[in-house]
Every structure is written in structure tokens, then in C-alpha cells.
């Protein structure tokens, strides 16, 4: 995949992400999970405060890196899903059909 193709797909993904996030804001299970994460985050912060500053920085950097890594993985999974969808549609001949206006 070329850089320009990747940029186009990422632009598409970003626009779809906005729609997905709006749907999540209406998902009660997701909202409950956010609430639980917020509570556990407070407990984690209390625990982190017991550590030395350097130790806290190392732990935070690790988890920030994990989040970035997961973002890359989800982007690649989404791109692969788009590519697979196009291949399936091509196999089914959807792109060869005439459109009546």
C-alpha cells in the first residue's frame, strides 16, 4: 500500500470514527465501562502517588505506549477490513453492474 493510499484510507477512517464515537455515547454498556475505568483510575492514581516520580513516569510512559501501539493495530485491522470488503464486492461482481439512473 502506498503512502497516498494509506492517507486516503486514514482520512476515511477518521470520518467513520466520528460516527462510531457518537454511537458509543448511546451505548449503556460502554458508558458503564467508562464509569468503571474512571473509578479504577482514581485508585491507580492513589497507588502511583506512593511511588517515586521516576517510577510513575516509567509506568505512565509504558501505558501511553501501549495505547499508541493499540491504535496502530486497530488502524491496520480497519484498513484490512476495508480491503477485504472491496475484494468481496469485486468477487461478487458488484463493480461490474450497471447502474440505472
Who has greater pLDDT, 19 or 27?
27
Q: What is the pLDDT of residues 86-97, one digit of tens each?
A: 899 999 988 887
Quick one: cell of 3? Answer: 503512502
The predicted structure's pLDDT at residue 51: 96
Cell 493495530 -> residue: 73
| Residue 101 confidence class, pLDDT cut points 50, 70, 90 | low
Who has greater pLDDT, 82 or 98?
82
Domain range annotation of the chain: 3-94
Q: What is the pLDDT of residues 31-85, one digit of tens each?
A: 999 999 999 999 999 999 999 999 999 999 999 999 999 999 988 888 888 889 9
pLDDT at residue 13 greater than cutoff 90? no
Alpha-carbon dihedral sign for residues 61, 64, 66, 68: negative
The predicted structure's pLDDT at residue 48: 94
Amino acid at each position: 500500500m502506498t503512502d497516498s493510499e494509506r492517507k486516503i484510507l486514514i482520512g476515511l477512517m477518521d470520518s467513520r470514527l466520528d460516527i462510531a464515537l457518537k454511537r458509543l455515547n448511546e451505548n449503556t454498556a460502554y458508558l458503564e465501562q467508562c464509569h468503571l475505568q474512571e473509578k479504577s483510575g482514581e485508585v491507580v492514581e492513589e497507588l502511583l502517588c506512593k511511588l517515586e516520580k521516576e517510577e510513575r513516569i516509567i509506568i505512565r510512559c509504558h501505558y501511553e505506549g501501549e495505547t499508541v501501539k493499540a491504535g496502530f493495530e486497530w488502524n491496520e485491522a480497519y484498513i484490512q477490513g476495508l480491503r477485504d470488503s472491496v475484494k468481496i464486492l469485486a468477487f461478487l461482481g458488484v463493480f461490474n453492474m450497471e447502474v440505472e439512473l
